[in-house]
Amino acid sequence: MCADLERIPRTLLVSERSSFQNQKNQLSAHVGQHHFNYKVSVLLPECGSAPPLLDAALNGFSSFYLIRNLPVYMLLDQDFLQTAVHQGSVYGLSFGCRVDEDPCVALMPNGRLVLSLDKDSFELLGFERKKYRFTKRATSRYVVSVNFSDSSMTPGGRGYQRLLTGLKTHLPLVVDFLVSHHPGGTTALQPLLSRYDWSEHRPSVSTRCLANLPCPLLTSDLQSCDPHSVLDWLGAVDADVSCENSSSSFLSTMVCPEPKTTASSALNVSVSGFLNPHEIHHLIQELRSYLDQSQLASWVALTVHGFTDSPVSWAGDERSVLWSGNTFYSLLLFKDDTYQLHLATGAHHTCPP
């Protein structure tokens, strides 16, 4: 039993404190390097309804597209590369695939294409690879990563032709594919959308108004509360799990961290979909403006969750689902323009950048 417990996957939590007034703060870089975002949740204590500009940011996330049965080799289409990949930021992710079992695909905004394959699929593809770092079996998963900005990957180049032949002839992968483009949207993606069955989707928004919410007494000092306890509490609030439990409760032992206070009202808003980092950054700026104008709130919280089956983690690092694949970050913003950022990932990843 003890030996088994020692092998339980751990998670890694990196915390930092900085200020928006510090020109060297890394917040924008962190937000931008978390490419594939499934859900963003915002908690506004002492708030009954969001002011117009903040409400517009929460409800203004761009549409995304689901392409059914997309041949993966079409991501190498010259028109698509020219109008979308080389003209802005494309976010693309295979949908409905399990990263520990199925071929998974990610197209990152820096023009990098990542394929996570099993051994048989990799051998059929016949392309350069590296062995998957997190596998429990020596030869079960392989990662193929190419950068379309490399000279060999320009249309007609040796690497381009080899990968195109592999995906078109030897390993004709077909996936359902989520895709969005910043800033071109539908126009930039038209060379891809025009050829296949696709549907447009808007992120869904859910809002809950809470009354008499027990809250930890949060300050910009990192010593005010244990970060793990605060993150557990934020997750419980977002999941509508009560934190008012007795020690004898068999349903939940979750409690609000000490020291604590009570917010007479609070607003919990969640946006779910295929969310790009540019608009999350805009939301953060609107939260700063809200805090500056609010007479009651001294802090707000934002939590962003990544996709469970994305083949990449922070900044394109490999994802280690078999070894605990949590990838999310929480941001606490304070009225004095300071913030606390908590970045989580599996313990076998490199540290979030």
Confidence at residue 344, expressed as pLDDT on a 0 to 100 scale: 78
Tokens representing 99? 């990263």
- As a whole-number percent, the residues of the chain with pLDDT over 70 amount to 84
pLDDT single digits (tens) 102-116: 999 999 999 999 999
Asked whether residue 154 carries a pLDDT value surpassing 50, the answer given is: yes
Coil vs helix vs strand at 71: strand
More confident residue, 147 or 224: 147
Alpha-carbon distance values, 111 to 39, 107, 172 (Å):
23, 7, 21
Confidence at residue 309, expressed as pLDDT on a 0 to 100 scale: 86
Strand (E) or helix (H) holding 141 = strand 141-147
Region 200-208: what's the mean pLDDT?
Answer: 97
More confident residue, 315 or 17: 17
Asked whether residue 65 carries a pLDDT value surpassing 70, the answer given is: yes
Alpha-carbon distance values, 129 to 18, 77, 122, 282, 319 (Å):
39, 22, 8, 37, 16
Tokens representing 190? 């038209």
Confidence at residue 184, expressed as pLDDT on a 0 to 100 scale: 83
Per-residue pLDDT band at 15 (split at 50, 70, 90): confident
Alpha-carbon distance values, 151 to 112, 146, 157, 158 (Å):
13, 11, 7, 9
Confidence at residue 348, expressed as pLDDT on a 0 to 100 scale: 53
Confidence at residue 5, expressed as pLDDT on a 0 to 100 scale: 45
Region 69-91: what's the mean pLDDT?
Answer: 94
Region 136-161: what's the mean pLDDT?
Answer: 82
pLDDT single digits (tens) 324-349: 456 889 999 999 999 999 987 765 55
Taking all residues of the chain, what is their mean pLDDT, rounded to a whole number? 86
Asked whether residue 1 carries a pLDDT value surpassing 60, the answer given is: no
Asked whether residue 135 carries a pLDDT value surpassing 50, the answer given is: no
**Token pair 């859910």 in the structure block, residue:** 206
Closest to 116 measured CA to CA, from 124, 129, 108: 129
Confidence at residue 248, expressed as pLDDT on a 0 to 100 scale: 61
- As a whole-number percent, the residues of the chain with pLDDT over 90 amount to 60
Closest to 49 measured CA to CA, from 203, 202, 210: 210
Chain length of the chain: 353
Q: Please provide the DSSP assignment of 208-226 as one string.
A: EEEEEEEEE---SSTTSS-
Least confident of 232-236, 276-280, 282-286: 232-236
Confidence at residue 136, expressed as pLDDT on a 0 to 100 scale: 47
Could you give the CA distance from residue 28 to residue 249 in angstroms, rounded to a whole number?
42
Q: Which long-range contacts (CB under 8 A, 24 or more apart) does 254-259 make?
A: 256/214, 256/215, 256/216, 257/216, 257/225, 257/226, 257/229, 257/230, 257/233, 258/216, 258/225, 259/216, 259/217, 259/224, 259/225
Confidence at residue 207, expressed as pLDDT on a 0 to 100 scale: 97
Task: Check whether the bond before 183 is cis (ω within 30° of 0).
Answer: yes
Whole-model pTM?
0.90
pLDDT single digits (tens) 17-60: 999 999 899 999 999 999 999 999 999 999 999 999 999 999 99
| Edge-to-edge order in the sheet of strand 204-216 | 11-19, 338-346, 328-334, 299-306, 37-45, 260-275, 204-216
Confidence at residue 132, expressed as pLDDT on a 0 to 100 scale: 45
Per-residue pLDDT band at 321 (split at 50, 70, 90): low
Asked whether residue 218 carries a pLDDT value surpassing 80, the answer given is: yes
